[in-house]
Structure 1
Amino acid sequence: MVKMWLIGLVLMNIMNTHAEYSALQAVLSQKGLEKVAHWSTDWLQNELSSIELPEVRGGVNIGIGTVHYVLHDMSIQRCDLPEPSVAFSEGTGVSLQVSGLSIAISGHWNTKFGVIHDSGWFEIAVYTVNLNTVLQLGSDEERLSISTIMCSADVGSVQVNFHGGASFIFQPFVDIFSGQIANEIRVQICPAFKKGIDVLERHLAAVPAALKVDPYVFMNISLTDSPLVEDSGLGLNVTGEFYSISSPSEPPFSPDYFDLTWQENFMMSLGASEFCVNSAAYAYHTAGALQIRITEDMIPKASPFHLNTSAFGSLIPQLPKQYPDMPMELQLYTSETPLISFSKTVTSVRLLASVKAFAVKPDSGTVPLFRLDIESSFSAKAYIEKVLVKGALEMKNLTVTLGATEIGQFSITPIERALTLGMKAFVLPKVNAQLSEGIQLPFVKGFGLKNAVMAIEDGFVAVAADISGPDDNTQ
């Protein structure tokens, strides 16, 4: 908790540095809005079912005097809600209409006629309730906000049946006070709906600007500007920058503008720029997460090459002479931030890494031997198959230089040749085999993506997809 509070404090100080352009863009189409409305029907039905109806008091003239009555302890027993009709309202937010809602209410009645008191119960059926509302979508302190700016409701007809006591006296006079009952119900509908929207707004207000991704990095998910509402959809521009949790700082590059095409045939579209991806690489690099210590027990027994000074003798002749038959360890780490660039023709990956070699003494202590600096580049292909992101890497270049040595100078050419061969023969086939299996698209609490397509554009990657929920039979 304390660490996340510190993250928020740091984020407040640095989040405006790169706030000129968003690194993430998200679009909800009319098709997506209709799906959201479908899922929201149960929520809206629950909100309307929770309406608290006040007592209704009045009097009925029965010819020989007035019978005073009180209808009380009324509760909604059933609420049948048709799926709402929703549409984007350009420049404002969302218009929502509910037509043909019906409500069943039960309660108790008490009467007083002179010194005579009576009581019983009743049932009310409310038909053709209509709700018309407009929701304002905006931004408040760089997060999405929602409020009700217009709401109206009307009630078509009311049917009342009295039971118990002298209820036969009141049933003929239902028309006299059914209008009053209908009005009491009507005036409670919009406040109940607004109450639900206020609850939703409080949930949005509680969403932190910093989203912790894993123990190493977090992401700034604040909005860079107000939501863009058009008749065809809702667009959100999100900062989308990653930071190291241990040492949050800005990367030495800035976001560029990109324009995500709105895909109306899909429920949602999502675009991530090069800056978003590379800020994640920078965050992991500065967090020290992009490193691994390689030991002999990690090398397959069937491998022709093993981590010991004797095996390295064919590449570095003086090594086994200075440290005969000693196990070795390698520390592999990124020396600079890996950089990815997107274009319609190719996705390029540039990787600068270093390898430190150590000899392992009998007491498990280590002796530094040398450091190799590696510069490599790859081309990448990525695509989506069903709900899996798949791809392949191809090595374009690999160059090795001797960065430091504790054992004297030696030729790099055999090592560079061996690393190139090892990358092409062993490492890349394993990486590509894993990439061909795919990585599942993210999902939250039973919701996910389906029918997804990916497009690599100049400077960003775009995904268009439909949204699947718990009530969907297909994924």
Structure 2
Amino acid sequence: MGAQSLAVACGVLALCLALTGATNPGFVVRITQAGLDYAHQQGITVLEKELAQLKLPDISGDFRIRHVGKVRYEISRLDLRSFHLPYSRISLVPNAGLQVSISNAFAEVDGNWRVKIHFIRDHGSFDLEVENIYIKINLKLGSDASGKPTIDTSDCSTRISKVRVHFSGKFGWLYNLFHSAIESRFRKILENKVCENVVSSVRSDLQPYLRTLPVTARIDAMAGIDYSLVAPPTTTAQSLDVDLKGEFFSLAHRSAVPFPPLALAFPPDHDRMVYFGASSYFFNTAGFAYHGAGALVFEITDSLIPKGIDFHLNTSTFSAFIPQLEKMYPDMLMKLRLSASSAPFLNIGPGGLSLKPVVDIQAYAILPNSSLAPLFLLSLVSSGTACGGDCARLDQGFPLPLPDRIQLSNILVRFHQNFLLLGADVHYQPRG
């Protein structure tokens, strides 16, 4: 084989490995524009409070005024009285991330001034109004090695178009001659400080909050759910999608699932803030995990049969079907042990859910010394179908991958081919 042919073969092999290595999610979270708008409102409230606490440095310098000479000024004890963000929006940037645009923001600053012009010295206070502040923030979404989501600021720019400073003092007319120099310096300082604060806020507030999204969720003493990201979040013009592993696993011994997740075709629903897609793979890994843990075993005795029902679990009752039972074990209580010979398999379609478990029923006679005598073994293949109403509270049946202090409301459930769609609106509950 020539060098060129070898290179082509290696390229084809690499492509095949890349394709086979792609992993379909078992669980998908979709955040719509409505959901992002709600999250944006919460975030802007926090950012507004943090910007109002900006620490501004003192400003000093020299300035030369025609016919007056050199002016030495100092601006100190800058106090940012308020910072308002009245107009802002969050936008989805396809295949890039999110963009937050803030317009017509304004701030108010108080401070002290001191000036020296030749033999003239004076000091006093001033107030400064900053108007028409425009801020643009680009957010990049990703995932780390543990499968948790990450967020960072990929770009930030601030532009201030109007700064007005008002000095108090005996020589106000003179101070106004050099206000443009102070306004220019203050504009540059505030523009830099705003973006520094945004970057810091994303890393210190937003990123840690996103990390409260559970990568694993414990169900009970036997099983948990793996909610780690299988790929970085993706953005389209309509939504933000997060692909999760969505796999139940045994806490005692985690083994590879012998079947792969299938691709999910999400519908273009956008009436709710967030949608969850739980695939048949997600539910079937639950059966696989619990079966492997030996949890799918149930025992039935006569004491479990409700009183008032004219049926008793004993050899006398079953002798009508197997006459020799009463002869061999006369009037003895029985025990039925139900177990799944294999993990139950769930199918999801537009009509609902269908379950086809294979159940082994082992019957025992309970001997006088409480030991068990095996009687017979039945293997049953049963099927059942559940409609939408039977699953309208599935959000309480297993923990959903939600960050801290998020509550769901206005819940809907829809069945689609190969997955269950759960839609909801969200409400953030701040700490009391």
Per the normalisation by structure 2, the TM-score is 0.77
- Equivalent residue letter for 1:189: V
2:265 aligned to which of 252, 259, 284? 259
SS of alignment partner, residue 282 of structure 1: helix
Aligned to 1:185: 190
SS of alignment partner, residue 252 of structure 1: coil
Task: Tell me if 1:51 matches 2:54.
Answer: yes
Deviations 1:387-410 (A, max 9, x none): xxx22xxxxxxxxxxxxxxxxxxx
Contact 2:337 2:361 in 1 (8 A): yes
Task: Tell me if 1:28 matches 2:31.
Answer: yes
Contact 2:346 2:354 in 1 (8 A): yes
1:39 aligned to which of 39, 42, 50? 42
Task: Tell me if 1:459 matches 2:418.
Answer: yes
Task: Tell me if 1:234 matches 2:240.
Answer: yes
- Equivalent residue letter for 2:353: T
Deviations 1:142-171 (A, max 9, x none): 5433222221112243455668xxx55569
Structure 1 residue 316: Cα displacement? 4.5
SS of alignment partner, residue 186 of structure 1: helix
Residues 300/160 of structure 1: CA separation in 2 closer, same or farther (3 Å cut) = farther
Contact 1:96 1:134 in 2 (8 A): yes
Aligned to 1:89: 93
Structure 1 residue 241: Cα displacement? 2.0
In 2: Cα distance, 1:171 partner to 1:299 partner: 98
- Equivalent residue letter for 1:244: S
In 2: Cα distance, 1:119 partner to 1:295 partner: 94
Structure 1 residue 367: Cα displacement? 5.0
Deviations 1:203-254 (A, max 9, x none): 5568664343433222232333343322222223222222111121123222
Residues 251/120 of structure 1: CA separation in 2 closer, same or farther (3 Å cut) = same
In 2: Cα distance, 1:289 partner to 1:281 partner: 9
Aligned to 1:286: 292
In 1: Cα distance, 2:331 partner to 2:413 partner: 51
Structure 1 residue 369: Cα displacement? 4.5
SS of alignment partner, residue 51 of structure 1: coil
Structure 1 vs Structure 2 CA RMSD: 3.8
In 2: Cα distance, 1:107 partner to 1:334 partner: 77
1:334 aligned to which of 328, 336, 340? 340
In 2: Cα distance, 1:46 partner to 1:268 partner: 27
1:148 aligned to which of 147, 153, 156? 153
Contact 2:348 2:416 in 1 (8 A): yes
In 2: Cα distance, 1:348 partner to 1:367 partner: 35
Residues 17/357 of structure 1: CA separation in 2 closer, same or farther (3 Å cut) = farther
Residues 169/375 of structure 1: CA separation in 2 closer, same or farther (3 Å cut) = same
2:359 aligned to which of 335, 338, 353? 353
Structure 1 residue 286: Cα displacement? 1.4
Task: Tell me if 1:130 matches 2:89.
Answer: no
- Equivalent residue letter for 1:173: Y
Structure 1 residue 136: Cα displacement? 2.2
In 1: Cα distance, 2:381 partner to 2:215 partner: 36
SS of alignment partner, residue 219 of structure 1: strand
Q: Mapping of 1:100-249 within 5 angstroms?
A: 100-107=104-111, 123-141=127-145, 142-160=147-165, 167-169=169-171, 173=175, 175-176=179-180, 177-199=182-204, 200-201=206-207, 204=210, 209-249=215-255
- Equivalent residue letter for 1:456: F
Contact 2:150 2:210 in 1 (8 A): yes
Which is worse superposed, 441-450 or 183-192? 441-450
Structure 1 residue 453: Cα displacement? 4.2
In 2: Cα distance, 1:323 partner to 1:109 partner: 105
In 2: Cα distance, 1:214 partner to 1:240 partner: 17
In 2: Cα distance, 1:17 partner to 1:297 partner: 53
Contact 1:162 1:168 in 2 (8 A): no
In 2: Cα distance, 1:68 partner to 1:277 partner: 71
Contact 1:69 1:112 in 2 (8 A): no
Structure 1 residue 339: Cα displacement? 0.6
Aligned to 1:276: 282
In 1: Cα distance, 2:195 partner to 2:240 partner: 25
Residues 439/255 of structure 1: CA separation in 2 closer, same or farther (3 Å cut) = closer
Residues 76/370 of structure 1: CA separation in 2 closer, same or farther (3 Å cut) = farther
Deviations 1:244-272 (A, max 9, x none): 11121123222222322332444333323
Residues 236/446 of structure 1: CA separation in 2 closer, same or farther (3 Å cut) = closer
In 2: Cα distance, 1:328 partner to 1:81 partner: 74
Residues 17/326 of structure 1: CA separation in 2 closer, same or farther (3 Å cut) = farther
Structure 1 residue 88: Cα displacement? 1.2
Aligned to 1:424: none
Contact 1:58 1:70 in 2 (8 A): no
- Equivalent residue letter for 2:175: F
- Equivalent residue letter for 2:190: I
- Equivalent residue letter for 2:158: A
In 2: Cα distance, 1:100 partner to 1:375 partner: 68
Contact 2:73 2:113 in 1 (8 A): no
User: Where does structure 2 lack aligned partners over 5 or more consecutive residues?
Assistant: 1-18
User: Where does structure 1 lack aligned partners over 5 or more consecutive residues?
Assistant: 1-15, 383-389, 392-434
Deviations 1:52-77 (A, max 9, x none): 322222468896985542413x4444
- Structure 1 vs Structure 2: percent identity of aligned residues? 27
In 1: Cα distance, 2:26 partner to 2:367 partner: 49
Matched residue count: 401
Residues 207/90 of structure 1: CA separation in 2 closer, same or farther (3 Å cut) = same
Contact 1:225 1:237 in 2 (8 A): yes
In 2: Cα distance, 1:223 partner to 1:152 partner: 30
In 2: Cα distance, 1:172 partner to 1:365 partner: 107
Residues 315/41 of structure 1: CA separation in 2 closer, same or farther (3 Å cut) = farther
SS of alignment partner, residue 256 of structure 1: coil
1:447 aligned to which of 396, 406, 431? 406
